[in-house]
């Protein structure tokens, strides 16, 4: 079944703070029955100091939902409400030594229950902006709703662009078909509205920021690779930049040492490409120098 | 896990020791290619022939040439449907059901994108079809009907023999995914109008990665894989000889144990059902218990979630499976449970116990003792459960109405 960490298993089999907190003065109910996850978080907050003195949870959900709830109650006990609100879902996942990508939504639910409970304590209404779709990219835990919204918001038109904006597709690439299906749907709608309405005034597609010169790009790529090298060297490998083809948007590199022949070379390059793209702010492919003649 | 109690036989089965023995020589001495003329290949060819006969006998097929070996149940399903579409290009519709295995459903959804029309027959609360609705859809536009013999989650049968006769009378091909039924109930395909039928070896104590497509003589057919002349050109690719021999042996053994399956395995299943229903409040059997596989029991435990139950069972060495969304990484619970209209508070807590002839009554008694405390413990955590009084909270859907639904 799932590859749950020891921590997740521990918090599932021995949940902390199960049940409603005694003397609770704040409650947050979140979740969705259709998704099979629902959580009631109860807090006892000191009205003077706003310190959370006790927390309790009741969860309808899977192993990681129970574990995330249990972890959250442990994390927030003793914090002030404001401190607790700074906890992100990633913090909850980290506390549990990680969650499988399919289960990250369980930690999201924990954070939202906290927000709802705090809103309840402060007597304000909490509105959820949560929408979650089918998981498309398992490597980076990206769902269909996020991909679709990102495509719309940024007028994307290729899988590469989607990868750049959301990371989806940046790993094993098994999710390309799923991404393409969403793209095709949005592109079809876009074509329809454009056909129906007169063309809108041309708007700048790219941010008004001045584009980088090729020299600047080259320096940034080198800079990123320098930052990655220590990690590779720790595994007795190394990487160096050989050539950049700016027209084709490809950076050619030499992977050497333990990295070059290992089965992980492709995965390593995928990770490097991700970093380079992030630092560069635009799409680029990273390929081994041995591929240079083929383009 | 040798001491574990394995009740997940609809997912896959243990390979019988006798089956392992039968297949082993085909990795070593008998490694030849059955297509070769020389002595190395010849014996292998004869062994495959014998296996084909054994499978023919289990299915009650008229000819052994109606048995086509494939790589799995999924391949058999795809081959059947795509063949029917390719052989009858003028027919652009498919009839199937909402509760099929993904091997059929995902394929059909994909075919819809290619312009085919797929009619999905609905089921009622017990997982039964409306044959009047079916009859109305049988037109000249339909290339193939595909309905499963027995459902993998609930075990419920569809009346495939009757449905095949109706399709045949309307001049339409009929396929059934019988992956869960073959080896568990007697069959005599020669007395039916079923044109194609899918089998998967690993559900009847043969290894994974071997399947069969039964193809009635005279049925128009287009291969999925073209290449060599293996399987009379209907499924190219060098034969998986060892697994074919294994499936033959498994088929023979399934036939020998058919009575045992329907008397002893059924008795264990029935005992498990009574024991659990008597000991646990707020649970019920899903599907149609009066018309279902002898080995399958699917129970919905209300107000808790299936994966959590499985984790706790696993800790005690008991293996089962769940229709909960969280076991599959999707967000919706099993499409089968939703199709039967099982409410979300119960659909997420469905557990499938599927037995085999390798289980015994003492194991069943252990499970009957182990499950109730697990259910009680998880309900204590549930916001829908009143732990103090050990009953669901009053009007559960209202008492706990989370912020998004
Ligand atoms: C009803 C049904 N059809 C098809 C399959 C797929 O068979 P295979 O795993 O051999 O591809 C299964 C197995 O899970 C099944 O239960
Ligand atoms: S699943 Fe998206 S890259 Fe691997």
Spell out the domains of chain B, with CATH numbers in brackets. Answer: 17-256 (3.40.640.10), 258-388 (3.90.1150.10)
**Taking residues A23-43, what's their average pLDDT?**
86
**What fold characterizes domain A135-193?**
Arc Repressor Mutant, subunit A (1.10.10)
**Taking residues B334-358, what's their average pLDDT?**
94
Task: Assign B57 a pLDDT band (cuts: 50, 70, 90).
Answer: very high
CB contact under 8 Å between B405 and A58, yes or no, is: no
Task: Assign A206 a pLDDT band (cuts: 50, 70, 90).
Answer: very low
Answer whether A101's CB lies under 8 Å from A135's CB: yes
Higher-confidence residue: B401 or B392?
B392
Structure tokens at A173: 């690439």
> Considering only CA atoms, which residue is closest to atom 13 of ligand 1?
B11
**What fold characterizes domain A214-294?**
GMP Synthetase; Chain A, domain 3 (3.30.300)
In sequence order, what are the residues at sequence separation of 6 or more whose Cβ sits closer than 8 angstroms to the Cβ of residue A271? Answer: none
CA distance B23 to B36: 20
SS3 of chain B: CCCCEECECCCCCCCCHHHHHHHHHHCCCCCCCCCCCCHHHHHHHHHHHHHHHHHHHHHCCCCHHHEEEECCHHHHHHHHHHHHHHHCCCCCEEEEECCCCHHHHHHHHHHHHCCCEEEEECECCCCCECHHHHHHHCCCCEEEEECCCECCCCCEECCHHHHHHHHHHCCCEEEEECCCCECCECCCHHHCCCCEEEEEHHHCCCCCCCEEEEECCCCCCCCCCCCCCHHHHCCCCCCCHHHHHHHHHHHHHHHHCHHHHHHHHHHHHHHHHHHHHHHCCCEEECCCCCCECCCEEEEEECCCCHHHHHHHHHHCCEECEECCHHHHCCCCCCHHHHHCCCCHHHHCCEEEEECCCCCCHHHHHHHHHHHHHHHHHHHHHCCCEECCCCEECCCHHHHCCCCCC
In the block, tokens 């795809």 appear at B78
CA distance A109 to A72: 10
What's the CA-to-centroid distance between A167 and ligand 2, angstroms?
A: 9
Catalytic residue status for A137: no
**Which chain B residues contact residue A63 at CB under 8 A?**
307-308, 311, 326
What ligand has the least distance to the C-alpha of B321?
1
Structure tokens at A90: 């990633």
Answer whether B377's CB lies under 8 Å from B312's CB: yes
For all residues of chain B together, what is the average pLDDT?
94
Q: Which of A30, A62, A65 sits opposite B403 (nearest CB)?
A: A30
Options 3.90.1010.10, 3.40.50.2030, 3.30.200.20, 3.40.50.720; CATH of A6-122: 3.90.1010.10
> Which of the 8 DSSP states describes residue A165?
H
Q: Is the pLDDT of residue B197 over 70?
A: yes
Q: Does A137 touch chain B (CB under 8 A)?
A: no
CB atoms inside a 10 Å sphere around CB B194: 27
CA distance A132 to A31: 11
Q: Is the pLDDT of residue B105 over 90?
A: yes
- Give the pLDDT confidence score for residue B397 in this predicted structure: 66
Share of chain B above pLDDT 70, in %: 96
pLDDT in tens, B272-315: 999 999 999 999 999 999 999 999 999 999 999 999 999 999 99
SS3 A241: strand
**Which chain A residues contact residue B307 at CB under 8 A?**
1, 62-63
CA distance A73 to A62: 17
Q: Does B59 touch chain A (CB under 8 A)?
A: no
Among B109, B307, B309, most A C-beta atoms within 10 A, so best to mutate, is B307
Q: Does B388 touch chain A (CB under 8 A)?
A: no
Answer whether B195's CB lies under 8 Å from B219's CB: yes
- Give the pLDDT confidence score for residue A205 in this predicted structure: 46
**What sign for the dihedral angle of Cα B147, B152, B156, B161?**
positive
Answer whether B207's CB lies under 8 Å from B201's CB: yes
CB contact under 8 Å between A62 and B324, yes or no, is: yes
Structure tokens at A169: 């597709």
Answer whether B222's CB lies under 8 Å from B87's CB: yes
pLDDT in tens, B140-164: 999 999 999 999 999 999 999 999 9
Catalytic residue status for B292: no
Answer whether B325's CB lies under 8 Å from A35's CB: yes
SS3 A136: strand
Strand A250-257 and strand A285-288: the pairing is parallel
B173 to chain A, minimum CA–CA distance in Å? 31
B72 lines ligand 1 (CB under 6 A): yes
- Give the pLDDT confidence score for residue B342 in this predicted structure: 94
Residue ranges per structural domain of chain A? 6-122, 135-193, 214-294
Q: Does A12 touch chain B (CB under 8 A)?
A: yes
């Amino acid at each position: 079944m799932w590859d749950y960490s020891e921590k997740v298993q521990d918090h599932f089999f021995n949940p902390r703070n199960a049940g409603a907190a005694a003397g609770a003065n704040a409650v947050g109910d979140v979740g969705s029955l259709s998704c099979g996850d629902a959580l009631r978080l109860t807090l006892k907050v000191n009205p003077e100091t706003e310190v959370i003195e006790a927390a309790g949870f009741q969860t309808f959900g899977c192993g990681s939902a129970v574990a995330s709830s249990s972890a959250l109650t442990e994390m927030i006990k003793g914090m002030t409400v404001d401190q607790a609100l700074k906890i992100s879902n990633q913090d909850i996942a980290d506390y549990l030594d990680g969650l499988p990508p399919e289960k990250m939504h369980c930690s999201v639910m924990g954070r939202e229950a906290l927000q709802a409970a705090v809103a309840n304590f402060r007597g304000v209404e909490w509105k959820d902006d949560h929408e979650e779709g089918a998981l498309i990219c398992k490597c980076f835990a990206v769902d269909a709703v996020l991909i679709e919204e990102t495509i719309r918001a940024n007028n994307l038109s290729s899988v590469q662009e989607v990868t750049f904006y959301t990371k989806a597709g940046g790993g094993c690439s098994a999710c390309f078909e799923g991404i393409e299906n969403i793209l095709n749907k949005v592109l079809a709608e876009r074509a329809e509205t454009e056909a129906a309405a007169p063309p809108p005034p041309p708007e700048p597609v790219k941010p008004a920021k001045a584009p980088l010169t090729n020299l600047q790009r080259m320096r940034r790529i080198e800079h990123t690779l320098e930052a990655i090298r220590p990690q590779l060297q720790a595994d007795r490998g190394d990487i160096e930049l050989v050539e950049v083809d700016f027209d084709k948007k490809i950076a050619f590199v030499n992977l050497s040492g333990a990295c070059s022949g290992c089965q992980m070379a492709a995965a390593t390059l995928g990770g490097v490409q991700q970093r380079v793209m992030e630092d560069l702010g635009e799409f680029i492919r990273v390929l081994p120098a041995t591929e240079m003649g083929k383009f | 896990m040798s001491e574990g109690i394995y009740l997940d036989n609809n997912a896959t089965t243990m390979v019988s020791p006798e089956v392992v023995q039968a297949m082993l020589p085909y990795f070593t001495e008998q490694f030849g290619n059955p297509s070769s003329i020389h002595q190395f290949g010849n014996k292998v060819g004869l062994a495959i022939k014998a296996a084909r006969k054994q499978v023919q006998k289990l299915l009650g097929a008229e000819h052994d040439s109606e048995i086509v070996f494939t790589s799995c149940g999924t391949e058999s399903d795809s081959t059947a449907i795509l063949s029917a579409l390719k052989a009858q290009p003028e027919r652009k519709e498919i009839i199937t059901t909402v509760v099929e295995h993904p091997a059929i459903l995902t394929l059909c959804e994909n075919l819809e994108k290619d312009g085919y029309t797929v009619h999905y027959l609905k089921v009622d609360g017990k997982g039964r079809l409306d044959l009047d609705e079916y009859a109305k859809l049988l037109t000249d536009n339909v290339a193939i009907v595909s309905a499963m013999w027995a459902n993998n989650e609930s075990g419920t049968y569809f009346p495939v023999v009757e449905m095949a006769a109706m399709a045949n009378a309307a001049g339409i091909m009929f396929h059934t995914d019988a992956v869960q039924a073959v080896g568990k109930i007697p069959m005599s395909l020669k007395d039916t109008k079923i044109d194609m039928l899918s089998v998967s070896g690993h559900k009847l104590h043969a290894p994974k990665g071997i399947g069969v497509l039964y193809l009635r003589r005279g049925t128009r057919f287009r291969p999925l894989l073209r290449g060599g002349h293996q399987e009379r050109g209907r499924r190219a690719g060098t034969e998986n000889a060892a697994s074919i021999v294994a499936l033959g042996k498994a088929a023979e053994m399934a036939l020998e144990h058919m009575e045992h399956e329907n008397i002893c395995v059924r008795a264990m299943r029935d005992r498990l059902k009574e024991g659990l229903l008597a000991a646990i409040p707020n649970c019920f059997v899903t599907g149609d218990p009066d018309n279902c596989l002898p080995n399958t029991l699917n129970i919905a435990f209300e107000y808790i979630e299936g994966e959590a139950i499985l984790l706790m069972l696993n800790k005690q060495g008991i293996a089962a499976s769940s229709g909960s969304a969280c076991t599959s990484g999707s967000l919706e619970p099993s499409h089968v449970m939703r199709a039967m209209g099982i409410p979300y508070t119960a659909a997420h807590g469905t557990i499938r116990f599927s037995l085999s002839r390798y289980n015994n009554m003492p194991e069943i008694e252990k499970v009957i003792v182990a499950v109730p405390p697990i259910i009680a413990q998880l309900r204590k955590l549930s916001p829908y459960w009143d732990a103090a009084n050990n009953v669901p909270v009053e009007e559960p859907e209202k008492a706990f109405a989370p912020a998004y639904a």
